[in-house]
Structure 1
Amino acid sequence: MFSLAVDAMGGDGAPEIVIDGLAISAERHPAARILLIGDEARLLPLLARSQAARAICTVRHAPGIITNEMKGTSALRLRDSSMRLAMDAVAQGEAQGVVSAGNSGALLALAKIVLKTMPGIDRPALSAISPSACGDVVMLDLGANVACDSRNLVEFAVMGEAFARVVLGLPAPTIGLLNVGSEQMKGDDRIRQAADVLRASPLAGQFYGFVEGHDITAGTTDVVVTDGFTGNVALKTGEGALKLAGTLLKQVFNANMMSRLGYVLARPGLDRMREWLDPRRYNGAVLLGLNGVVVKSHGGTDAEGFAHAVDVAMDMVVHNFNDRIRTGIAELGRVAAATAPPASGVGGAATADDATTSLAPTDHAASRLATTG
């Protein structure tokens, strides 16, 4: 079995950036086996110049390429694309995970159709790591599901907790539900129901409660759970705030001779801050809840950023991430079964399947895939 199937043709700088990133990954993961899928005529000459990447890669030809402009429905019909064949390799048991810097919407659509969600998971969630004052924070969902119900939020909490354990190495990560206030009466029925379930679940000791937008950068909790619409807005707002801060700093330090001298004196500290906030360090959003590991690299990243996305995928493969999710969902189902009232008109206790299903409201919002940046 290959460790990962890599879409060599996805991303702005593909396939060159992908090969350079895999050369870095070969140093970090020398035992990895990578199924590199793409245009063989372009990949083989690049690999011939990179002994490190060549040592861990096996090339499989794929004539088709999913462009950034292609819609998800069109991508599903292109069965010979590098992204589709990478997904097929995981579905058929050849590889344990996929890494792609290609079209986000196409990747989400293919992952849901080809790999499908794990048993007990209603919808997958897009998760990523962001910086905070207290260390790294896991956020989900970041755009895979625009509308979510209470059951989805509970499942996101289980998956986010497992993700924080594996990728951040936290033994007992704390969990917060993003809300418009921290008081228990704040928010709609959906988020209050999710909070009630988490307080009665095996994660009760790690559940902090409701958090607000400023708590994300403050690092109040290790995991922040929300629906895909709110999460994507929060993510893009944070990215915009960082860019604004960088622009304003440049203007301040270029204002006059004294400010330029101040920049020289402050440069060591600014370099440390730039390294801490380097977006390449946080590259690699993960689609959680599928029958396989799926990592989305930013399309405009460089080799170092792509290598970090591979790092994330390898962490999840090596530490059996999906097994942790299965365990968490199973424990949640057992607790729900134990606390559920007797089935109406039968006189016996509700089954675990009935109890787990009862977490979701009767009127489900339609599932929708949203393209992320």
Structure 2
Amino acid sequence: MTDTIRISVDAMGGDNAPRAVIHGAHLALKERKNTSFIFHGRQELINPLLDEFPALKAHSIVRHCEMVIASDEKPSQALRKGKNVSSMWQSIQAVKDGEADVAVSGGNTGALMAMSTFCLRPMKGISRPGIAAIWPTLRSDIIVLDMGATIGADARQLVDYAILGSALARALFDQDSPTIGLLNVGTEEVKGLESIKEAGRILAAASGAGFTYHGFVEGDDIGKGTVDVIVTEGFVGNIALKTAEGTARQVASYLRSALSANWMSKLGALLATSALNALRRKMDPRTVNGGVFMGLNGIVIKSHGGTDEVGFKSALGLGYEMARSHLIDKITEGMQRFPVSAVTDLPTPEPEASA
């Protein structure tokens, strides 16, 4: 029997919390029996929901926290008033204290990153943490980072993200040397910002140190699955993510309209029910919900705040897999492989609050 994976959950984080959180945990436990949960939040709201799911209740502990971080609070304000006392902070603290293997929250992204960074601290050699997302493509799932932890990135940060992304690919996809691409406005070496070109030169020289550097990639390479890991800065990465989610919903809406336009199209839809259901599942953003906070001394998963129980189940499942595959050990090993001389001459950026 595999060792139990302990998940610390901010039960109050997200638009539909705590019901979507508790129901999502129930669904997650059905798929992975060797899971236990620590729910942080208001007991008077959490306990009645746990009573609806006796099997989940038997695998759960509830830690009362009266304070909840609002979705519109600035990271600095949330950190100042929520440190040590909020459900978000306590969910992260459980990882630091060794009570849990991973923390999951659907709360305020900026606040979660600020608290995670302050509580767990960046790993040695990592200039700034990033958020990685699992992205479905025509080939297979890939990893894209940064998804919005930091707006703007210099060459050092892009190299950090490449190291972190390759470690995540090795943990998730069991690849010894995943391919890395830098997102750019063109594939030619002369194109792009100087920070991207400098990061490309460093990664090209270090290719083989736990990853294979592919070169520059463009926006359409994300959907093609040209490489295993795509590296970009947070502003571009977040826009790409939201654009992809919006496009998926747009295409789904077009498809529904087309298949219900007349009796012929309705008949065609009926005959193709199995294929359409498979397509619907493939395009459902809830099935790949969850961003991994990379580069910290502990694992934190950010769930989409507006998701339902199916999406939260996916975020919990991602956290389970990250803990089970010993992600932190793989990142540490990746840092040891990477030639230190490649980045020692680059300046370390000043710390900055996440957006």
State TM-score, norm by structure 2: 0.92
CA radius of gyration, larger in:
1
The 3-state SS of whatever aligns with 1:14 is: coil
Quote the offset at 1:183 in angstroms.
1.6
Q: Provide structure 1 residue ranges, at least 5 long, that are not aligned to the other structure.
A: 338-354
- TM alignment of 1:137-176, pairs within 5 A: 137-176=142-181
| Structure 1 residues 205 and 118: alpha-carbon distance in aligned structure 2, compared to 1, 3 A threshold | closer
Q: In the alignment, residue 42 of structure 2 is paired with which amino acid?
A: D
What is residue 109 of structure 1 aligned with on the other side?
114
Contact (CA 8 Å) 1:20, 1:53: kept in 2 or not? no
> Is residue 26 of structure 2 the alignment partner of residue 23 of structure 1?
yes
| Structure 1 residues 204 and 5: alpha-carbon distance in aligned structure 2, compared to 1, 3 A threshold | closer
Between stretches 244-253 and 124-133, larger displacement belongs to 244-253
Choose from 280, 304, 318 the match for 2:310: 304
Cα distance in 2, alignment partners of residues 365 and 289 from structure 1: 16
The 3-state SS of whatever aligns with 1:33 is: strand
> Is residue 256 of structure 2 the alignment partner of residue 250 of structure 1?
yes
Quote the offset at 1:50 in angstroms.
1.1
Q: In the alignment, residue 180 of structure 2 is paired with which amino acid?
A: I
Cα distance in 2, alignment partners of residues 130 and 249 from structure 1: 22
Cα distance in 2, alignment partners of residues 324 and 3 from structure 1: 19
What is residue 287 of structure 2 aligned with on the other side?
281
Write out per-residue CA displacement over residues 256-304 of structure 1, whole angstroms, 9 at most, x where no aligned residue: 3333333223332221111112212101111100111000111122222
> Is residue 354 of structure 2 the alignment partner of residue 369 of structure 1?
yes
Cα distance in 2, alignment partners of residues 54 and 169 from structure 1: 33
The 3-state SS of whatever aligns with 2:317 is: helix
What is residue 328 of structure 2 aligned with on the other side?
322
Choose from 84, 97, 122 the match for 2:89: 84
Contact (CA 8 Å) 2:5, 2:323: kept in 1 or not? no
| Structure 1 residues 148 and 232: alpha-carbon distance in aligned structure 2, compared to 1, 3 A threshold | same
After superposition, the CA RMSD in angstroms is: 2.0
Q: In the alignment, residue 164 of structure 2 is paired with which amino acid?
A: M
Cα distance in 2, alignment partners of residues 316 and 279 from structure 1: 19
The 3-state SS of whatever aligns with 2:337 is: helix
Cα distance in 1, alignment partners of residues 172 and 57 from structure 2: 27
Q: Provide structure 2 residue ranges, at least 5 long, that are not aligned to the other structure.
A: none
- TM alignment of 1:130-209, pairs within 5 A: 130-201=135-206, 202-203=208-209, 206-209=212-215
What is residue 226 of structure 2 aligned with on the other side?
220
Q: In the alignment, residue 242 of structure 1 is paired with which amino acid?
A: A
Cα distance in 1, alignment partners of residues 283 and 300 from structure 2: 24
Choose from 38, 41, 45 the match for 1:42: 45
Cα distance in 1, alignment partners of residues 210 and 40 from structure 2: 43
Quote the offset at 1:40 in angstroms.
1.3
Q: In the alignment, residue 212 of structure 2 is paired with which amino acid?
A: Q
Cα distance in 2, alignment partners of residues 68 and 104 from structure 1: 8
The 3-state SS of whatever aligns with 2:143 is: strand
Cα distance in 2, alignment partners of residues 286 and 17 from structure 1: 20
The number of residue pairs the alignment matches comes to: 349
Quote the offset at 1:315 in angstroms.
1.2
Cα distance in 1, alignment partners of residues 108 and 239 from structure 2: 19
The 3-state SS of whatever aligns with 2:272 is: helix
The 3-state SS of whatever aligns with 1:177 is: strand
Quote the offset at 1:361 in angstroms.
4.3
What is residue 65 of structure 1 aligned with on the other side?
68
Q: In the alignment, residue 185 of structure 2 is paired with which amino acid?
A: V
Contact (CA 8 Å) 1:146, 1:368: kept in 2 or not? no
- What is the aligned-residue identity percentage? 41
Contact (CA 8 Å) 1:30, 1:56: kept in 2 or not? no
Contact (CA 8 Å) 1:2, 1:35: kept in 2 or not? no
Cα distance in 1, alignment partners of residues 239 and 82 from structure 2: 31
What is residue 293 of structure 1 aligned with on the other side?
299
Cα distance in 2, alignment partners of residues 244 and 250 from structure 1: 10
> Is residue 130 of structure 2 the alignment partner of residue 125 of structure 1?
yes
| Structure 1 residues 279 and 135: alpha-carbon distance in aligned structure 2, compared to 1, 3 A threshold | same
| Structure 1 residues 205 and 292: alpha-carbon distance in aligned structure 2, compared to 1, 3 A threshold | closer
Q: In the alignment, residue 142 of structure 1 is paired with which amino acid?
A: M
Cα distance in 1, alignment partners of residues 24 and 229 from structure 2: 28
Quote the offset at 1:188 in angstroms.
2.1
What is residue 345 of structure 1 aligned with on the other side?
none
Cα distance in 1, alignment partners of residues 336 and 176 from structure 2: 20
The 3-state SS of whatever aligns with 1:200 is: helix
Contact (CA 8 Å) 2:178, 2:211: kept in 1 or not? no
Cα distance in 1, alignment partners of residues 149 and 168 from structure 2: 17
